[in-house]
Amino acid sequence: MAEKKTVKKKTVAKKVIKKIAPVKAETKKVTKKVESKKKTETKKVAKEKNAVKETRIDADNKKISEVKKSNPKVSKKNNDKSKNWLIAAIVLGVLIVIGVVLLIVNMYDTDSNNSDNQYESVTERIDVMDVKVNLLNDFVDFYKDNISQDNLKTEIVELKSKLSNKEDVTKDFNELLKLLSNEKKISNEYAELVSQFKDIDKIFELEVELIIIEDKSCTNCNVDAFSTQVKSSLFPNTVVTKFSYDSEEGKKIVDELKLNEVPIFLFSKNIEESPLWEEQQLSQGFIAVKIDGKDFYMLNPQFIPTKVYIKDLKIDESAVVIGDKNAPLTISYFSDFECPYCAIAEGNSELAKLAFGERANTYTATMPKVFENYVKTGKVNVAFYNYPIASLHPKSKIMHIGAMCANEQDKFEEMFHKIWETRDDWSDSQISQTSISERINFLKSYAKELNLDMTKFDKCIDNQETETQVDAAIKFGQSRGIQGTPNFIIGRQVASGAIDYTDVEKIIESQLN
């Protein structure tokens, strides 16, 4: 996902669309200084955040890293007054480039009750004239020292009042532009502003088709909330059609695209005609696909944290099952022992503070509670898939090999928990690196604590067949479209990242019921 261009006119963006305010507030939380003792993990977490192109680590990480990239650096003395004035469009573009994840995450607060194929109503919508008037207002504020007409500001206030009363202000707006065109000192800037108004018109006039393939039983997917956000914040003239994945139309698309999960959002190819497409490099958020010979852009599935698995997901032989194998519900758990966000899901509070800031105070780690409330009670079993990501953690695989060697002596769960509990000891940090041989020594010490047969354990560590078992789990995950860790398939519902236990609990209960 591309870094955004620096936008110098912060006040304009803030006034045009107030929705960006929560993003700035989140940025302030993330950029707070941490204690010196926590610095050893900083680079590791930062590395995960910058790797979002390769792996969807989790919704919170995505939000943090992309918000940081997009936060404008404001220059008090802005001498380059010929800069692009499409602030309204830029902010709209930001909602897809840095905010697709935010839009989807916000769906969790909205119920999805519309069962019709056609989504017909939008409760919130940004009006094109409202955007233009706000932009004009900020333009006049910015160049007030170069504008001779004192009445312009008063006229704009009157325009806003009329807008609030749902009056047509097109004529008044055009008359104001004519007055502004007489200001010789800002003639070049005015021409640029008018040009950008035309681009705004294109954004609002572009007719976009959005096809959603969904599973209506997914209570947390909330596709209607997403389509509402698309209409109100990105492509106002969007016609939305929804198909169930098991309907005739849905099956055709599922089969043609070889989909494993839904929901899927397919946009008509003409979204590339939007002025935002090149300006904000929107193509990096979409995948070009063909359906029955027609071109579409599919929203990258890695940006959708809550999905439903629609294929038959039997426990693969590469998995290690923890808990009662006859439990009514299985959680397929893809994890990397060195992944910081996996460690957060396993209860590492220090990493949670680094990643989430103040929100860590209310965050409840997922897996400890899952084991306590569901695995130990026999309601759920966990099918663990070794999923070390070599591009991020090239030495992590040896820890997975060690866990599999413990599994040979029926001590996988004990070794599993031991590795997580001691992660800060054996994993790499900013000031400390551990070699493969050092990690093997850690594993051997854990094996001794667990009273394993050390002769067998040593032979297993050196056995190529053990590594092959780990590779088999990786291959299985890749075949199922797993793009990052931690990743959970709870029954049929997919969840990604270090999500809060309370969210996982809701999914588990819905699947059990």
Average the pLDDT over 480-487 and give the result. 87
342 and 213 in one domain?
no
CB 339 within 8 A of CB 393: yes
Query: Does 72 reside within a domain?
Result: yes
Secondary structure letter of residue 6 according to DSSP: P
3-state SS class at 62:
helix
Residue 77 lies in a domain: yes
Of 254, 325, 322, 320, nearest to 291 by C-alpha is 254
Do the Cβ atoms of 208 and 271 come closer than 8 Å? Answer: yes
Residues 395 and 433 in one domain: yes
Give domain status of residue 313, yes or no: no
The pLDDT-based confidence of 271 (bands split at 50, 70, 90) is very high
DSSP summary character for residue 494: E
Confidence of residue 280 (pLDDT cuts 50, 70, 90): low
| CA 95 – CA 342 distance, rounded (Å) | 27
CATH code: domain of residue 368: 3.40.30.10
Which tokens go with 235?
Answer: 């492509």
pLDDT-wise least confident of 55-64, 280-289, 398-407: 55-64
d(CA 394, CA 377): 36
- State pLDDT tens for residues 289-323: 999 999 999 998 877 867 888 877 789 999 999 99
Average pLDDT on 64-68 reads 36
Residue 282, CA distances (Å) to 3, 84, 209, 366, 449 in order: 11, 18, 16, 33, 53
pLDDT at 295: 96
**Domain assignment present for 437:** yes
Sheet holding 207-214, edge to edge: 118-119, 237-244, 207-214, 264-268, 294-299, 286-291
Residues 189 and 212 in one domain: no
Residues in the chain: 513
pLDDT digits (tens, 9 = 90+) for 138-151: 888 888 888 888 78
Span of 149-153, 342-346, 494-498 with lowest mean pLDDT: 149-153
Q: Which domain-ending residue is among 304, 330, 357?
A: 304
Cβ-based neighbours of 217, under 8 Å, separated by 6 or more: 308
Strand arrangement, sheet containing 487-490: 261-262, 306-309, 493-496, 487-490, 329-335, 380-386, 320-322
At residue 414, the pLDDT reads 97
Q: Do 226 and 357 sit in the same domain of this protein?
A: no
Mean pLDDT, to the nearest integer, of 386-412? Answer: 96
Q: What's the chain's average pLDDT?
A: 77
Assign 21 a pLDDT band (cuts: 50, 70, 90): very low
Q: Quick check: is 496 in a domain?
A: yes
Q: Are residues 98 and 230 in the same domain?
A: no
pLDDT tier at 198, thresholds 50, 70, 90: confident
For residue 38, what pLDDT band results from cuts at 50, 70 and 90?
Answer: very low
Q: Clarify whether residues 165 and 279 are in a common domain.
A: no
User: What CATH number does residue 245 fall under?
Assistant: 3.40.30
Residue 396 lies in a domain: yes
Q: Which residue has the higher pLDDT, 358 or 102?
A: 358
In this prediction, residue 276 carries a pLDDT of 76
325 and 282 in a common domain? no
User: In sequence order, what are the residues at sequence separation of 6 or more whose Cβ sits closer than 8 angstroms to the Cβ of residue 320?
Assistant: 383, 384, 386, 403, 404, 407, 412
Whether residues 92 and 229 fall in one domain: no
Q: What is the pLDDT of residue 383?
A: 97
Judged by average pLDDT, the poorest of 7-21, 153-167, 306-320, 418-432 is: 7-21
SS3 301: helix
* Residues 408, 474 within the same domain: yes
In the predicted model, what is the mean pLDDT of residues 366-382?
97
Structural domain harbouring 164:
10-108+128-196
DSSP-derived pairing of the beta strands 207-214 and 237-244: parallel
Q: Of the ranges 1-15, 51-65, 429-443, which is most confident?
A: 429-443
Note whether 47 and 176 are same-domain residues.
Answer: yes
Q: Is 267 helix (H, G, I), strand (E, B) or coil?
A: strand
Q: Identify which has the larger pLDDT, 36 or 213.
A: 213
In a domain, 5, yes or no: no
* Amino acid (1-letter code) at residue 285: G
Three-class secondary structure of residue 490 per DSSP: strand
Per-residue pLDDT, averaged over 181-201, amounts to 87
Domain co-membership, 333 together with 236:
no
Note whether 420 and 490 are same-domain residues: yes
Alpha-carbon gap, residue 148 to 143, rounded angstroms: 10
C-alpha–C-alpha distance, residues 88 and 275, integer Å: 12
Q: Of 196, 224, 241, which one is at a domain's C-terminal end?
A: 196
pLDDT at 417: 97
The answer on pLDDT for 162 being more than 70 is yes
pLDDT tens column, 207-255: 999 999 999 888 778 888 888 888 877 788 899 999 999 999 999 999 9
Q: Which of 143, 147, 16 is nearest to 79 (CA)?
A: 143
Rounded to whole angstroms, how far apart are CA atoms 145 and 107? Answer: 44
Which amino acid appears at position 352 of this protein?
A
In a domain, 310, yes or no: no
Q: Is 468 exposed, middle or buried (0-12, 13-18, 19+ CB in 10 A)?
A: exposed
Query: Tell me, what's the pLDDT at 144?
Result: 85
Is 306 in contact with 367 (CB distance < 8 Å)?
no
Final residue in a domain of this structure, among 251, 276, 304: 304
Residue burial 53-65, b: 16+ Cβ < 10 Å; e: rest: eebbbbbbbbbbb
The total domain count for the chain is 3
Burial class (CB in 10 A: 0-12, 13-18, 19+), 247: middle
- Smallest Cα–Cα separation from 47: which of 260, 271, 354, 332? 354
Give per-residue pLDDT as tens, 449-461: 999 999 999 999 9
Buried-state track 307-324, b at ≥16 Cβ within 10 A, e below 16: bbbbeebeebebbbebbe
Side-chain-side CA neighbours of 58 within 13 Å: the count stands at 26
pLDDT, position 393? 94
State the pLDDT confidence band at 340, using cuts at 50, 70 and 90: very high
Predicted confidence at residue 334, as pLDDT, reads 97
Nearest of 330, 333, 349, 449 to residue 387 by alpha carbon: 333
What was the pLDDT predicted at 93? 40
pLDDT tens track for 68-110: 333 333 233 333 333 333 343 344 343 333 344 334 334 333 3
